[in-house]
């Protein structure tokens, strides 16, 4: 039977039921129901005794007899109560609806198997609306030992479409279509990856014959799901690589060599060298680079960006860096301007607050090619900004820019410029593979030498005085301190008040002229922000009171203390970013996480993780586990959220295997045209055509 047929082709499904299933569970074709997998299983081999019951509110199964029944009148309606006994004791079964029919159908003093959720009320155990089956019938039927439980909705349950009925539909469906289920992977492939066949997998995922077979069914279906997603992402990358050519930066010229040999302020770390090599390989080969550069906070991405830009300039191109905020763009500009101070390479800054006259100058020097490096914010995307020949666009913290904005930069050229996306928010490898599977990924996984780990502690608000004393000691030594407040959109007014109150109390505790304080928050004008930032950067102020506007990228090596107020309200990656603002110089640095006493268990885990590790990748993994992939930046556009069975967090080993399998396959058969891969090709194109999980990644 064709799996595209509607559900009404299944014995027992009426039009009304079909439209209910479609409306509530989005199941409309046979294929949908076949791939509607149970979310858990009940072990029907386990039987309880009444005397052993404990109040844990779980589903239980018992064998016993109904010895008496009575109907009890209530204010509204009535209920049927049955006394159920086994050889160890008795309990109640209760029905609130349909009990006339039930009363008639139950056989007194006859062995039944009953099943349902255990309730404990007024010292008595009971089960409401149990499933009941005569022991003699139960013995006759061949039962699946692990019984599937499907997710459902209140409307379905209220309409009488119970899990038992749903189970029946799936059973009927399997009987009707089983013989015709097509294999979606070639036999040698299944042998190589030790996968059971599709029929077996589908049968055992719904009605497992044993826990072992269930595990193998899950393995097969998860592998298949992840394999085809990877295949899709990798093919997309392959096609893009073949179709889109990039500019070639053939020579390592004057600017690169001079800077590298004479002006590089430090030796590159091995990780920086490796990443540069990866970039040079891309840009030297007619390929179009589309690379994600992940580096933990302070790992030294800026220098890699600069060397890449010098390579572009040596080959006659211009280069640009786009940052998400004015503060960041300015900082990149200052850092690069400083690094290039002994070189003859022009660099400018363009942001929303660049004055009209300067703006004009920038526009024309960009068009005539005399301006080589332009750094800026979204302002770079305005139509007036026209490069003569943009060779590379470096995008910092890309998740703040939409995909549409990214491609807007492409339109400025005959060929698309190379793209290097830099992020200091590490994305766990597994997620990066799924979300950015079509990008190449480079990782700077090593910090520059001599960095001391930031000592991190968690303190309750009541310890604030000793925190202030500690700040004083550090300032005494000539260091600077950040004090950060949350600013979360929904409660902006309150947060703003907290910030201002905090500022006042810090001003009282740290009075001028002994102490100078800067304050930076989102409501300030850009130039005021910049002015305050600069005072702190120059060391004129010792304390920077700020909201998370300083979260990413701010680089003041002399700042050695980061105090985070209400730290329980921050996400893990935000805390990690904030901590990354200190520990950038040679001094021992500290991060103090202040919080109230009342902490949710998730908040506790976050703070504890911060205290225990400073490895951004480990922190990202914990974050992913706590929040799930849906909340991690960039995942919204990908297929990982629509997975039917696999889980990007828990199924990492399967994902890795599936990805390697897809890579190996494409190496041997990039177009999937070899006869032995016909089955894969057929499944692949069916999946690509199908809506849902596949539409948004194709
Ligand atoms: N190889 C190196 N040896 C010594 N110091 C380095 C090295 N690379 C970078 N640095 C210094 O480390 C600091 C951090 O570098 P950079 O600002 O590029 O980090 P980043 O990766 O951009 O981090 P963030 O995202 O937190 O800004 C800078 O002060 C930089 O000069």
Tens of pLDDT, residue by residue over 251-279, are: 899 999 999 999 999 999 999 999 999 99
Q: Ligand 1 centroid to 553 CA: how many Å?
A: 10
The pLDDT value recorded for residue 98 is: 65
CA of 299 to the centre of ligand 1 (A): 5
Sort strands 124-128 and 111-121 into parallel, antiparallel or unpaired: antiparallel
Please write down the long-range contacts of 536-541, taking CB distance under 8 Å and 24 or more positions apart: 536/480, 539/480, 540/516, 541/480, 541/516, 541/517
Q: Which two tokens stand for residue 628?
A: 């799930």
Cα gap 563→454, rounded to integer Å: 12
Candidate of 265, 271, 400, 555 to mutate for ligand 1, largest count of ligand atoms within 8 Å of Cβ: 555
| Closest C-alpha among 586, 587, 575 to residue 613 | 575
Task: Point out the ligand 1 atom lying closest to the alpha carbon of residue 296.
Answer: 21
Contact 590, 455 (CB under 8 A): yes
Which two three-digit tokens encode residue 570? 């921050």
Q: How far apart are the first and last CA of the chain?
A: 28
- Using CA atoms, how far apart are residues 563 and 685, in angstroms rounded to an integer? 54
Residue nearest to atom 31 of ligand 1 (CA): 300
Q: Pick 254-285+300-423's CATH classification: 3.30.465.10, 3.40.50.300, 3.40.630.10, 3.20.20.140.
A: 3.40.50.300
Structure tokens at 524: 């300030």
Q: How many angstroms does the Cα of residue 267 sit away from the middle of ligand 1? A: 12
* Nearest residue to 344 via CA among 417, 262, 266, 283: 262
Going from the Cα of 285 to the center of ligand 1, the distance in angstroms, rounded, reads: 28
Question: On the CB side of 55, how many CA atoms lie within 13 Å of its CA?
Answer: 6
**Ligand 1 atom nearest to 450, measured from its CA:** 4
Domain residue extents for the chain? 1-41+146-180, 45-143, 254-285+300-423, 455-613
Distance 301 CA to ligand 1 centre (A): 6
Closest residue to atom 27 of ligand 1, CA basis: 553
Write phi, then psi, for 109 (nearest 5 degrees).
60, 30
CATH of domain 455-613: 3.40.50.300
Q: How does pLDDT run across 525-547, given as a tens digit for each residue? A: 878 888 888 899 889 999 999 88
Burial code (b: 16+ CB inside 10 Å, e: under 16) for 282-316 equals bbbeebbbbbbbbbbbbbbbbbbbbbbbbbbbbbe
List the residue whose alpha carbon is closest to atom 3 of ligand 1.
Answer: 448
With a Cβ cut-off of 6 Å, ligand 1 is lined by: 266, 268-269, 272, 295, 297-303, 424, 448, 553, 555, 557, 580, 584
Q: How far apart are CA 246 and CA 291, in angstroms?
A: 13
**Atom number in ligand 1 closest to CA 305:** 18
Residue in this structure with the two tokens 């595990």, named with its chain if needed:
215
Q: What is the pLDDT of residue 474?
A: 95
Q: How far is the CA of 562 from the centre of ligand 1 (A)?
A: 18
| Secondary structure in 3-state letters for 500-553 | HHHHHHHHHHCCCCCCCEEEECCCCCHHHHHHHHHHHHCCCCCEEEECHHHCCC
Distance CA 210, CA 203 (A): 12
Measured in Å, residue 385 CA sits from the centre of ligand 1 at: 29
Q: Which atom of ligand 1 is nearest to the CA of 302?
A: 18
What's the chain's length in residues? 698
Q: Which residue has the tokens 């910092």?
A: 396
Q: How far is the CA of 304 from the centre of ligand 1 (A)?
A: 10
Which CATH number does 45-143 carry?
2.40.50.140
Question: What does the DSSP 8-state code read for residue 238?
Answer: H
The residue behind tokens 């009342």 is: 598
Residue 428 has φ and ψ, to the nearest 5°, of -55, 145
Pocket test for ligand 1, best of 298, 307, 560, 575 (most atoms within 8 A of CB): 298
Instruction: Specify the residue with its C-alpha closest to ligand 1, atom 26.
Output: 297
Ligand 1 centroid distance, CA of 591 (Å)? 19
- Structure tokens given for 343: 């070189």
Equal fold, 254-285+300-423 vs 455-613: yes
How much distance in Å is there from the Cα of 419 to the middle of ligand 1? 21
Q: Ligand 1 atom 9: the closest Cα is on which residue?
A: 300
Q: Ligand 1 center to residue 228 CA distance, Å?
A: 39
Q: Which residue, judged by its Cα, is nearest atom 5 of ligand 1?
A: 448
Ligand 1 probe mutation, 273, 302, 445, 557, most atoms within 8 A of CB = 302
299 in Cβ contact with 449 (< 8 Å): no
What's the CA gap between 47 and 60, in Å, rounded? 7
Nearest CA to ligand 1 atom 14: 298
- Specify the ligand 1 atom closest to the Cα of 295: 21
Closest-lying ligand 1 atom to the alpha carbon of residue 553 = 27
Q: Looking at ligand 1, which residue's alpha carbon is closest to its atom 22?
A: 301
Ligand 1, residues 263, 300, 577: which to mutate, most atoms within 8 A of Cβ?
A: 300
- Cβ-Cβ contacts under 8 Å for 583 (sequence gap 6 or more): 298, 451, 452, 453, 454, 560, 589
**Cα 334 from Cα 330, distance rounded (Å):** 6
Distance CA 456, CA 593 (A): 8
**Partners of 97 in the β-ladder:** none
Q: With a cut of 50, which residues of the chain have pLDDT below it?
A: 403, 634-638, 640, 691-698
Confidence (pLDDT) at 691: 39
Q: Cα(615) to centroid of ligand 1, in Å? A: 16
- Indicate if the alpha-carbon torsion angle 296, 376, 485, 570 is positive or negative: negative
Say what the pLDDT of residue 695 is: 33
Asked whether 633 and 620 are in contact (CB, 8 A), the reply is: no
Conformation bin of residue 42: beta by default, left when phi > 0, alpha when psi is -120 to 50: beta
Ligand 1 centre from 292 Cα, in Å? 17
| C-alpha 447 – ligand 1 centre gap (Å) | 8
Distance CA 351, CA 612 (A): 39
Between the CA of 302 and the centroid of ligand 1 the distance, in Å, is: 7
């Amino acid at each position: 039977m064709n799996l595209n047929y509607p559900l009404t082709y299944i014995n027992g499904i009426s039009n009304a039921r079909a439209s209910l299933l479609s409306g509530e569970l989005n199941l409309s074709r046979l294929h949908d129901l076949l791939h509607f997998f149970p979310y858990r299983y009940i072990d029907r081999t386990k039987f309880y005794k009444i005397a052993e019951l404990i109040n844990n509110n779980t589903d239980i199964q018992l064998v016993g007899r109904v010895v008496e029944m009575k109907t009890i009148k209530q204010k509204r309606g009535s209920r049927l109560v049955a006394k159920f006994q086994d050889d160890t004791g008795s309990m109640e079964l209760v029905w609130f609806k349909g009990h006339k029919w039930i009363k008639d159908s139950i056989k007194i003093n006859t062995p039944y198997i009953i099943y349902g959720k255990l309730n404990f009320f007024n010292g008595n155990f009971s089960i409401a609306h149990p499933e009941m089956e005569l022991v003699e019938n139960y013995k006759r039927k061949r039962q699946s030992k692990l019984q599937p439980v499907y997710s459902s909705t209140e409307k379905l349950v209220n309409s009488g479409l119970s899990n038992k009925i749903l189970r029946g539909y799936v059973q009927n469906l399997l009987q009707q279509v089983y013989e015709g289920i097509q294999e979606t992977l070639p036999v040698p492939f299944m042998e190589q990856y030790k996968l059971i066949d599709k029929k077996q997998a589908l049968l055992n995922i719904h009605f497992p014959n044993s826990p072992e077979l269930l595990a193998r069914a899950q393995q097969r279906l998860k592998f298949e799901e992840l394999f085809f997603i990877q295949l899709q992402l990798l093919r997309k990358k392959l096609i893009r690589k073949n179709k889109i050519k990039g500019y070639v930066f053939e020579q390592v010229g004057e600017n690169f060599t001079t800077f590298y040999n004479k002006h590089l302020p430090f030796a590159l770390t091995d990780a920086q060298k490796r990443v540069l090599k990866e970039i040079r390989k891309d840009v030297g080969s007619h390929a179009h680079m589309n690379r994600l550069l992940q580096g933990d906070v302070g790992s030294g991405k800026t220098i890699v960006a600069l060397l890449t830009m010098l390579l572009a300039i040596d080959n006659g191109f211009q280069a640009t860096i786009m940052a998400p905020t004015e503060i960041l763009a300015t900082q990149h500009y200052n850092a690069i301007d400083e690094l290039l101070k002994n070189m003859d390479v022009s660099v400018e800054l363009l942001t929303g607050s660049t004055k009209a006259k300067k703006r004009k100058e920038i526009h024309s020097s960009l068009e005539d090619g005399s301006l080589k490096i332009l750094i800026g914010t979204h302002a770079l995307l305005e139509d007036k900004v026209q490069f003569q020949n943009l060779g590379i666009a470096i995008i910092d913290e890309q998740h703040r820019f939409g995909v549409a904005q990214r491609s807007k930069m492409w339109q400025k050229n005959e060929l698309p410029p190379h793209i290097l996306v830099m992020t200091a928010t590490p994305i766990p490898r597994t997620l990066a593979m799924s979300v950015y599977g079509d990008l190449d990924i480079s990782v700077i996984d090593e910090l520059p030498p001599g960095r001391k780990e930031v000592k991190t502690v968690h303190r309750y608000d009541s310890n604030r005085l000793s925190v202030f004393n500690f700040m004083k000691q550090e300032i005494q030594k000539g260091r600077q301190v950040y004090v950060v407040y949350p600013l979360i959109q929904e409660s902006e007014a309150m947060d703003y008040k907290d910030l201002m109150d905090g500022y006042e109390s810090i001003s009282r505790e740290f009075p001028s002229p002994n102490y100078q304080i800067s304050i930076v928050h989102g409501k300030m004008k850009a130039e005021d922000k910049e002015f305050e930032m600069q005072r702190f950067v120059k060391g004129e102020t010792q304390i920077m009171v700020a909201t998370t506007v300083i979260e990413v990228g701010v680089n003041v090596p002399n700042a050695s203390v980061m105090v985070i107020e209400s730290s329980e309200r921050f996400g893990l990656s935000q805390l990690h970013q904030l901590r990354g603002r200190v520990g950038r110089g040679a001094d021992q640095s500290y991060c103090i996480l202040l919080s109230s006493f009342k902490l949710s268990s998730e908040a506790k885990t976050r703070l504890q993780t911060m205290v225990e590790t400073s490895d951004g990748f480990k922190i990202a993994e914990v974050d992913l586990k706590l929040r799930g992939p849906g909340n991690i930046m960039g995942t919204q556009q990908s297929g990982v959220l629509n997975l039917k069975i696999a889980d990007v967090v828990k199924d990492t080993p399967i994902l890795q295997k599936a990805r390697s399998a897809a890579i190996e396959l494409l190496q041997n058969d990039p177009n999937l045209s070899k006869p032995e891969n016909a089955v894969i090709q057929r499944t692949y194109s069916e999946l690509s055509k199908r809506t849902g999980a596949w539409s948004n990644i194709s």
